[in-house]
Amino acid sequence: MEAADERVTPLMAQYIEIKTANPDCLLFYRMGDFYEMFFEDAELASRALGIALTKRGKHKGADIPMAGVPVERANDYLQRLIAQGFRVAVCEQLEDPAEARKRGSKSVVKRDVIRLVTPGTITEEQLLDSRRNNWLLAVARARPSSAEAASFGLAWADISTGAFHVAEVGGGRLAAEVARLDPGEIVIADALYSDTDLAPFWREQRAVTPLGRDLFDAMTAERRLAGFFGIATADAFGVFSRLELTAAAAIAGYIERTQVGKRPPLAPPQREALGETMAIDAATRVNLELLRALSGTRQGSLITAIDRTVTAAGARLLADRLSSPLADSAAVNARLDAVAWVVADGDLRQALRRTLETAPDIERALARLALGRGGPRDLFALARGLTVAADLARTVAARAPPAEIAAATHDLAAPDPAVAAVIDAALADELPLLKRDGGFVRAGYDADLDGLRRLSEDSRRVIAETQARYAEETAVKSLKVRHNAQLGYVVEVAAQHGDKLLGPPFNATFMHRQTLAGALRFSTVELSELESKIATAAERARAIELAVFEQLVTRVLDQGDAIKAAARALAVLDVTTALATLAATEDWTRPVVDASLAFRISGGRHPVVEQALRRDGGPFVANDCDLSPPTPAGDAGRLWLITGPNMAGKSTFLRQNALIAVLAQIGAFVPAKSAHIGVVDRLFSRVGAADDLARGRSTFMVEMVETAAILNQAGPRALVILDEIGRGTATFDGLSIAWASLEHLHETNRCRTLFATHFHELTALSTRLKRLKNATVRVKEWHGEVIFLHEVAEGMADRSYGIQVAKLAGLPAAVVARAKVVLAELEKSDRGAPIHRLADDLPLFAALRPKAAEPASAAAPDPVAELLAALDPDDMTPKDALEALYRLKAAAAAT
């Protein structure tokens, strides 16, 4: 925007100057009771918010567009703008307009930007999701090279809670870490933003803000970070790499820039080392629906199924734990000990939850107060939260809790109890939202304030009391105290009593001001002072209240570190009791978690699907899974190759085992009769089909990219679940890819794997891959209809029942009938011939080579005879015999 010239009004010149200093933000320019926007900002805001676009004056011969929002509703509009990706500079009036008028009629009220509102730096309760952290993430790169070769420093902070973390990762982990944090905003250097290799990745993120290189200067990073915290050196926080310091300093600098002199109560940065948590890439998070369902909503996700927290801080902590399962068995078992302790005492659990339900969100209240955006209700929330914390500490301390609960109990009692007592004594029962509204200090707390309130709120009574006293002192019962526009408050008496007040001793108190027909008027020093007090009482009362507010805030901030510790302890206790409640009500069991490669689940259930079925009145069929090494000393886990029809529950079975591992490693009980989980360091899931047309990737290309990531990264401690690899291309291409991938997982990755497929030919690999086990999802046919039993058992499926599933889906009867005919013809043909020919050249297909070559003219084998020859009547149960009879009948019908 151009600089102001002589034709621009002083007000518009001021606007243009401030807007020029904030070119990347919409400027909320305070004018009385409105935030106004002009020029292009007004046009953008009008479209984004659906508000009227008007005009104000002219600039260079053209009308100046104008749009505005009321100050009282500014947060509502800010929320909508931030959600659409805008940044907003809030420009406030810094003086009373009356002061500006004293400088001349054309003087402009002093204004300046007091904060920049961006997606990662909001603190207002109305703008935030109370149940998740709002991370601001800074990314620094070691050198301008390819994404895979580079190293990245990450720093992430939530200024609404004070949490602050740093880490260094390789290029291959960048996307996974960003997906784990799901930040509200990412800040990066201009050079990194313009990197051609990473440009597509940055475009995928919600809000990316490129910044000048000064904020990412590695040479000055340590000094700038230390300056932000007001200490001599950042060494006091521990040992950080140069990349971590660079990212942390960028976070600090960006917060200083956006908060304009205000500093949130950030904790010192805590370093997260690689390997502390289970690595889960972005695709796996989407596939497993940890925090959001595939639809993008919270409903249907794992977090919705397990969240029993009763506080906002507890909900945020649970979401963080679910995003970052632990990879240290000792830490996991410490959490499990805490949950088990609460599970064992139902009365304690209920008592703790009743108390926790009354705990406000003191983390975010503290942050708002520190940034000057808090109000009386935030002070009340802190007092109430500290009281709840102290009550919980007393309840728990008497019961010999395990280590994690004992540590939380210590922190609950850390704040000075006098803080809550002082706030309770100072605040009234009914509190306004904003401190400027006044009326929040309790009557009796400050004598001067009480007196001013009496003057301001009950001036008539005060005047009446003064009049009665004067009448009694002078013995003039008709004496009146009146207010005159010119004289102010005066004492008025009838003419016959005037001489009495004009003479001693009353003339020392009553000064004659005016004589009227039949009456005389007098003033007194007391009335003059009373008038002055009444005129300024409301303003002075507000000033005293604001002073009381600031005193209370100072008292709170002095206890900031202890309050943050108590807030974290409340969250820990809430998550622990929530997981215990979940275990008790859902019949979940404590898993065994250790450093082995075990993965043995008995009676496992899908936590989300089971609850959905229960709501619909149906049962969930539990299943076992054992991916442990074949021998206790084995150095690699099993692979299960799972066949069976669609709709039979293969994907549910795959996902439920992955989710059980996640739940176990966040320290939760799991939906199973028993579970033994050797710590999973990396979790990979390739389930379902999706394309990425924006990046030019077909469904099959996305499938191959995700499969490549698994095969290139999975190690022996990983857990891999794969579904339908190779189905997105031609049959034999897909079969070859699936075959080779299965061999690679067995021989090279050596990880615990669930591999579901419709390529029944792969089951032959079990004869030469020693850790591969065939499993199938059982079904039953009844009068031509397929019945899904949802049971996973050892063995292999003989077919996929695709036509039956198509019939269930509602395909026209003619299409289903024709498909049956075509299938019967195909089954008569020698469909295995191409594989037999490949087997001559490719050893990997040797297992499918026929035992003996058949003449080209030989008749097709009789499927009924083959089935009969395969039966062993002496080794069949009645149930097996019945199922065999159904298969024979189906084969006979097909021929």
Backbone angles phi, psi at 410, to 5 degrees: -60, -45
**What span, in angstroms and rounded, lies between the C-alpha atoms of 671 and 650?**
18
Bigger pLDDT: 642 or 840?
A: 642
pLDDT category at 2 given cuts 50, 70, 90 is: very low
Say if residue 456 carries a ligand binding annotation: no
User: What local confidence, expressed as pLDDT, does residue 237 receive?
Assistant: 86
Q: Listing from the earlier edge strand, what are the strands of the sheet with 674-678? A: 592-594, 674-678, 599-604, 623-626
Residue 841 has pLDDT above 50, yes or no: no
**What span, in angstroms and rounded, lies between the C-alpha atoms of 448 and 451?**
5
Q: What is the DSSP letter of 787?
A: E
Bigger pLDDT: 225 or 686?
A: 225
User: What local confidence, expressed as pLDDT, does residue 149 receive?
Assistant: 65
User: What local confidence, expressed as pLDDT, does residue 692 receive?
Assistant: 45
Bigger pLDDT: 562 or 436?
A: 562
Q: What is the dihedral of CA 361, 364, 368, 369, to 10 degrees?
A: 60
User: What local confidence, expressed as pLDDT, does residue 349 receive?
Assistant: 95
Average pLDDT, the chain: 86
Distance of alpha carbon 285 from its chain centroid, rounded?
14
CB neighbour list of residue 60: distance below 8 Å, 6 or more residues apart: 7
User: What local confidence, expressed as pLDDT, does residue 255 receive?
Assistant: 93
Say if residue 648 carries a ligand binding annotation: yes
**What span, in angstroms and rounded, lies between the C-alpha atoms of 832 and 347?**
65
CB neighbour list of residue 196: distance below 8 Å, 6 or more residues apart: none
Rounded to whole angstroms, what are the CA distances from 3 to 20, 63, 126, 742? 8, 17, 36, 67
Residue 838 has pLDDT above 70, yes or no: no
pLDDT category at 890 given cuts 50, 70, 90 is: low
CB neighbour list of residue 755: distance below 8 Å, 6 or more residues apart: 639, 640, 641, 642, 720, 722, 725, 742, 745
List the structure tokens of 332.
């996991």
Say if residue 151 carries a ligand binding annotation: no
Least confident of 252-256, 470-474, 629-633, 880-884: 880-884
pLDDT category at 4 given cuts 50, 70, 90 is: very low
Other CB atoms within a 10 A radius of the CB of residue 40 amount to: 12
pLDDT category at 254 given cuts 50, 70, 90 is: very high
Q: SS3 letters for 606-640?
A: CHHHHHHHHHCCCCCCCEEEECCCCCCCCCCCCEE
pLDDT tens sequence across 471-487: 999 999 999 999 887 78
**Which ranges of 39-73 would DSSP assign to H, the alpha helix?**
39-49
Q: Is the pTM of this model over 0.85?
A: no
**What is the rounded average pLDDT of the residues 416-445?**
91
Distance in Å from the first CA to the final CA of the chain: 82
Bigger pLDDT: 792 or 533?
A: 792
Q: At what angle do helices 376-397 and 362-370 cross, to 10 degrees?
A: 140
Q: Are 332 and 664 in contact (CB under 8 A)?
A: yes
pLDDT category at 567 given cuts 50, 70, 90 is: very high
pLDDT category at 32 given cuts 50, 70, 90 is: confident
**What is the rounded average pLDDT of the residues 48-62?**
86
Q: Are strands 719-723 and 752-756 parallel, antiparallel or unpaired?
A: parallel
pLDDT category at 836 given cuts 50, 70, 90 is: very low
pLDDT category at 634 given cuts 50, 70, 90 is: confident
The C-alpha angle with vertex 162 and arms to 161 and 167, in degrees rounded to 5, equals: 120
pLDDT category at 235 given cuts 50, 70, 90 is: confident
User: What local confidence, expressed as pLDDT, does residue 7 receive?
Assistant: 64
Bigger pLDDT: 820 or 376?
A: 376
List the structure tokens of 354.
């009743």
User: What local confidence, expressed as pLDDT, does residue 726 receive?
Assistant: 75
Backbone angles phi, psi at 523, to 5 degrees: -115, 160
Residue 597: name the closest of 624, 571, 563, 636 by CA: 636
Least confident of 39-48, 104-113, 153-162, 714-723: 104-113
Say if residue 279 carries a ligand binding annotation: no
Say if residue 647 carries a ligand binding annotation: yes
Residue 834 has pLDDT above 70, yes or no: no
**What span, in angstroms and rounded, lies between the C-alpha atoms of 181 and 839?**
48
User: What local confidence, expressed as pLDDT, does residue 583 receive?
Assistant: 97
Residue 588 has pLDDT above 50, yes or no: yes
User: What local confidence, expressed as pLDDT, does residue 126 receive?
Assistant: 80
**What is the rounded average pLDDT of the residues 724-751?**
85
**What span, in angstroms and rounded, lies between the C-alpha atoms of 251 and 248?**
5
SS3 756: strand
The C-alpha angle with vertex 534 and arms to 530 and 537, in degrees rounded to 5, equals: 125
pLDDT category at 8 given cuts 50, 70, 90 is: confident
Bridge partners, 65 (sequence order): 55
Residue 477: name the closest of 503, 497, 499 by CA: 497
List the structure tokens of 166.
């740093």
**What domains appear along the chain, each with residue ranges and CATH number?**
10-117 (3.40.1170.10), 126-274 (3.30.420.110), 308-316+326-429+559-586 (1.10.1420.10), 447-536 (1.10.1420.10), 861-895 (no CATH)
Least confident of 15-24, 445-454, 682-691, 693-702: 693-702
User: What local confidence, expressed as pLDDT, does residue 689 receive?
Assistant: 57
Report the percentage of the chain scoring pLDDT > 90: 54
Residue 446: name the closest of 554, 323, 584, 549 by CA: 549
Bigger pLDDT: 107 or 850?
A: 107
Residue 113 has pLDDT above 60, yes or no: yes
Q: Listing from the earlier edge strand, what are the strands of the sheet with 719-723? A: 279-280, 682-686, 719-723, 752-756, 639-643, 772-782, 785-794
pLDDT tens sequence across 520-550: 999 999 998 888 888 788 788 889 999 999 9
